[in-house]
Amino acid sequence: MIKLGFALLGITLVGPAADSVPRFDIQAACRAQTSSLNGTGETMGNCVKEEQAARDKLAATWSHTKPSSREICVGEQQGIHSYVDLAACLDMYASQ
């Protein structure tokens, strides 16, 4: 039931939240982000590139990140799920 709730929010967890990088719908997130930023110069293409780069960084560092930080930061993802925001959250916890 919980997994279904996450899927409906656009996030799919593969195994427990702390074991692997969550799967976010980059296209949906970027559509929402760029539509809310009319006139700022943010393009769909730039958004997708930034999100994919952040996801690649997370994939490379995920296993070295504290499980407690991963759980907190994944849990804070509400509304538009963003790898950029998730990476920023984890960076904040890593610097503490």
Q: pLDDT tens across 60-76, in order?
A: 999 999 999 999 999 98
Q: What CA–CA distances, in Å, run from 78 to 2, 39, 63?
A: 15, 25, 23
User: Structure pTM?
Assistant: 0.75
pLDDT digits over 25-62, tens only?
999 999 888 877 665 667 889 999 999 999 999 999 99
Contacts of 90 by beta carbon, 8 Å cutoff, 6+ apart: 58, 61, 65, 69, 70, 73
DSSP symbol at 10? T
> Which pLDDT value is given to residue 79?
83
Rounded Cα gap, residues 92 and 86, in angstroms: 10
Q: Supply 19's token pair.
A: 């074991």
63 vs 78, higher pLDDT: 63
